[in-house]
Chains A and B, each alone.
Chain A
Amino acid sequence: KAGVTQTPRYLIKTRGQQVTLSCSPISGHRSVSWYQQTPGQGLQFLFEYFSETQRNKGNFPGRFSGRQFSNSRSEMNVSTLELGDSALYLCASSRDRGNNEQFFGPGTRLTVL
């Protein structure tokens, strides 16, 4: 069974631009969560989607948004990029909410210049 895939793996953008990252969960998994990983702040929860609905949200500004499609694939969008948005963005999928193991993807490395 294929693991969690994230595209693109690397991305370079400039300040003020917007970016969309994609996450395809393991087949049969319906919950997708997103995390931001930086050297300074560590791993921080962005949001979680289940059945195309945002179920939980972390403490990030409204520039960070996401969605989930009927096939459970998820995208996250960051608008008006800032230098501080440079990070590794990880997504994780699980079969259902709450009690199942989460499987992480390899991440998307975003660099904002």
Chain B
Amino acid sequence: AQTVTQSQPEMSVQEAETVTLSCTYDTSENNYYLFWYKQPPSRQMILVIRQEAYKQQNATENRFSVNFQKAAKSFSLKISDSQLGDTAMYFCAFRIVGNEKLTFGTGTRLTIIP
């Protein structure tokens, strides 16, 4: 069975600063995907960034980037130049290749302070 752990229930940061959200996971699988999802107060879950486990290069999407350490089973999200609209719950998630089931962490509530 797969598990995803997010050890930071809440974080806050000043606008324009950089923040890093942590995620660790456990699996015996070799082919999988890792995701960061954002759930703003309106509740619509949005994909932020995705990483294929076979890729060594860390994924980036504009201000969002990940630090993927496969051997350590670590997958952190860095948000640069944080904006007020980044305020949301952030969930780390895991999915085995070929399977639709997402396994989520417990989430990190991120607040961007003006």
User: Which residues of A are in contact with B by a Cβ distance under 8 Å?
Assistant: 31, 33, 35, 42-45, 48, 50, 55-56, 58, 88, 90, 92, 94, 97-99, 101-107
Q: Determine whether the beta carbon of B101 is less than 8 Å from that of A58.
A: yes
Q: Determine whether the beta carbon of A98 is less than 8 Å from that of B104.
A: no
Chain A nearest CB from B48 CB (Å) reads 11
Give 17 new A-B contacts, CB below 8 A, not counting A43-B91, A106-B43: A42-B104, A42-B105, A42-B107, A45-B103, A48-B100, A48-B101, A50-B100, A56-B100, A88-B43, A92-B102, A98-B97, A98-B98, A98-B99, A98-B100, A101-B50, A104-B46, A107-B44
User: Which residues of B are in contact with A by a Cβ distance under 8 Å?
Assistant: 37, 42-47, 50, 91, 97-107
**What separation, in Å, do the CA atoms of A42 and B107 have in the docked complex?**
8
CB-CB nearest 4 A-B residue pairs: A104-B45, A43-B104, A98-B98, A48-B100
A55 to chain B: which residues have CB within 8 Å? 100
**Residue from A44, A88, A97, A101 within 8 A of B98 (CB atoms):** A97
Chain A contact residues: helix, strand, loop or mixed: strand
Q: Determine whether the beta carbon of B106 is less than 8 Å from that of A42.
A: yes
Q: Determine whether the beta carbon of B102 is less than 8 Å from that of A102.
A: yes
Residue of B nearest to A109 (CB): B43
B100 to chain A: which residues have CB within 8 Å? 31, 33, 48, 50, 55-56, 94, 97-98, 102
